Structure 1
Amino acid sequence: MACKKTITVFGATGAQGGSVVKALLQDKSFAVRAVTRDVTKPAAQKLKEAGAEVVSADLDNETSVKAALKGTYGAFVVTNFWEHMDKDKEVKQGKQIADLCKQLELKHVIYSGLENVQKLTGGKLEVPHFDSKGLVEEYFRQIKVPMTSVRLAFYFENFLTLCRPQKCQDGKTYQLVIPMGDIPMDGISVTDLGPIVCSVLKNPSEYAGKDIGLSADKLTIRQYAEIMSEVTGKTIVDSKITPEAYIKLDLPVVQEMNSMFLFYHMRPDRNVALTRKLNPNVKTFKQFMEANKEAFKDL
């Protein structure tokens, strides 16, 4: 283990970081330093048992973040906008990590980034959880840290929670309430991120400095609904809701989600072929549904 290059993985007990730690440990090309706030919780202990070095750090505490990065070859960096819903705070956390990566001379950073939508649209559209990451991407480049940005598509997992099929008035049919019209929407399972990050880390000359848009499937909402119907045996359809109607719904973070879907209307760059090259086992939406069929049995 001592001769292996070490990768620091932030958010190691979360969805993205957890997938990365798992893939790196299975691949065995790197030693893994898993970062979490509470090293005593069961998820952290499991990582230790699996072979990771588990350390405590808080993204708001510079000293702890520096200690987590010290002496490592590279890092996987993810920040969590949804934890505090504060764009400025996420930018501050990201820039601080970038500064420390520069100071400690890390050789390759994989950042879970997204586009700066506000900048791309000339201020016509704001998606705070995208814009914050876009600003951090720009900062990494500005201070010349060797960084690859991996930009995830819509999580398939959102169909289990925020975008779960809703029962129609007839009590028999269900609908997906997503304002995309007939525009295809890229999607991916967050669990498939880890092997992608591992591939990127193993090929720095090919991917350092690049922005990689990740996607496992490009489907219309009607196509997502048809696959869900096929797998669950329920009748699930596209509600065909418009952005104007969607934003008036009483849903969690509806403004943020509506802005995100409007950005998806612009078809941001997400590359299915490259995603499959980096992780040949990435799940299609149908494979994801079949693996998660039990989650829909109560529909």
Structure 2
Amino acid sequence: MANRKIIAVFGATGAQGGSVARAILENNHFALRALTRDVTGKKAQVFQDLGAEVVRCDLDDPASVEEALKGVYGAFVVTNFWDHHSKEKEACQGKLVADVAKRLGLKHVVYSGLENVDRLTGGKLKVLHFDGKGEVEEYFWSIGVPMTSVRLAAYFENFLTLWKPVKTSEGHYTLALPMGDVPMDGISVADVGAVVSSIFASPEEFVGKAVGLSAEALTIQQYADILSKTLGKDIRDAKITLEAFEKMGFPGVEEMASMFRFYHMKPDRDIKLTHRLNPKIRSFSQFISENQGAFKDL
């Protein structure tokens, strides 16, 4: 480890952090310091076995963040709004890391950010799980930390859980995502790590920039067509309106509806650049083919 620069990866046992941590290990250009709240867990043990340094770090514990970032070249930072549903708490966690990164002189931070929709729309639209990250992006740059923000598209993984096709009384299945005919960018979170690894390898190109990531942009009908073809089921776009979606009443539906409203504004996601940074990135079709097991109960 002594002769390689160290990248600290927050949330290394989670989806995004795990993807980045694995890519850094595979790349072998940098040494990995995997940060997690539970160093005794199975996932943490896997990184330990692969030769990574595993360090306890809790974003609500400033001393642990300070300790975790000592002696590192750079860091991948991800915060999780869904842990606590508080924009303020997420912004506070991100700004804490920014302050520590500044104080310790980190050379490159890659932050998993998103747009500050509240500011972009002059307060007309608030998407809390975007806005807190947008605030943190601005803060990193304002205090002079060399930072690249990666703004992810919708996760393909959501189609395996939250957005799974639902059977109707007529016998076919529908996708109830209120996008109309507007294409929605998507990406597999598992493919993000290689993109981030490439960004760390080219700081001169990416420091100070926000990079929108997407494998491809499809309409809901196109997503449904791919699912139909791969799974051998009749799956259609439910053609649900934003207003009807909002009335579905599940926990967090208002936040999701606000996100879809923002997606209607076609946020900047660069498919060509994403493919350049990870030439092995999977299309939705490839992703569903590899994850057919998740649909066996349809």
Task: Settle same-fold status: TM greater than 0.5.
Answer: yes
CA distance in 1, matches of 2:74, 2:25: 15
Residue 50 of structure 1 is matched in structure 2 by 50
Residue 183 of structure 1 is matched in structure 2 by 182
Give the letter aligned to residue 235 of structure 1: D
Alignment of 1:129-168 (within 5 A): 129-168=129-168
Q: Are 2:102 and 1:102 equivalent residues in the alignment?
A: yes
CA distance in 2, matches of 1:209, 1:282: 24
Any conservation in 2 of the 1:175–1:239 contact (CA below 8 Å)?
yes
Tell me the SS of whatever aligns to 1:122. coil
1:35-68 deviations in Å (ceiling 9; x for gaps): 0001011110011001110000110000000000
TM-score with structure 1 length normalisation? 0.99
Residue 19 of structure 2 is matched in structure 1 by 19
Identical aligned residues as a percent: 61
Count, aligned residues: 298
CA distance in 1, matches of 2:18, 2:104: 24
Structure 1 spans left out of the alignment, 5+ residues: none
CA distance in 1, matches of 2:233, 2:293: 13
Alignment of 1:235-254 (within 5 A): 235-254=234-253
Tell me the SS of whatever aligns to 1:112. strand
Residue 292 of structure 1 is matched in structure 2 by 291
CA distance in 1, matches of 2:105, 2:84: 30
CA distance in 2, matches of 1:225, 1:109: 37
1:67-86 deviations in Å (ceiling 9; x for gaps): 00011000000000000001
Give the letter aligned to residue 252 of structure 1: P
Tell me the SS of whatever aligns to 2:138. helix
Residue 111 of structure 2 is matched in structure 1 by 111
1:213-238 deviations in Å (ceiling 9; x for gaps): 00001000000000000000000000
1:139-178 deviations in Å (ceiling 9; x for gaps): 00100100000000000001111111111111x2000000
Residue 201 of structure 1 is matched in structure 2 by 200
Structure 2 spans left out of the alignment, 5+ residues: none
Q: Which runs of 4+ in 1 moved over 3 A?
A: none
Q: Are 2:44 and 1:34 equivalent residues in the alignment?
A: no
Give the letter aligned to residue 210 of structure 2: D
TM-score with structure 2 length normalisation? 0.99
Alpha-carbon shift at residue 298 of structure 1 (Å)? 1.2
Give the letter aligned to residue 215 of structure 1: S
Tell me the SS of whatever aligns to 2:134. helix
Any conservation in 2 of the 1:148–1:207 contact (CA below 8 Å)?
yes
Alpha-carbon shift at residue 250 of structure 1 (Å)? 2.4
Tell me the SS of whatever aligns to 2:174. strand
Give the letter aligned to residue 30 of structure 1: F
Tell me the SS of whatever aligns to 2:217. strand
Tell me the SS of whatever aligns to 1:179. coil
Any conservation in 2 of the 1:39–1:56 contact (CA below 8 Å)?
yes
Tell me the SS of whatever aligns to 1:79. coil
Residue 9 of structure 2 is matched in structure 1 by 9
Any conservation in 2 of the 1:186–1:217 contact (CA below 8 Å)?
yes
Any conservation in 2 of the 1:229–1:235 contact (CA below 8 Å)?
yes
CA distance in 1, matches of 2:194, 2:231: 28
Q: Are 2:172 and 1:173 equivalent residues in the alignment?
A: yes
Residue 259 of structure 1 is matched in structure 2 by 258
Alpha-carbon shift at residue 251 of structure 1 (Å)? 2.0
Any conservation in 2 of the 1:232–1:297 contact (CA below 8 Å)?
no
CA distance in 2, matches of 1:294, 1:136: 38
Give the letter aligned to residue 237 of structure 2: D
CA distance in 2, matches of 1:34, 1:294: 30
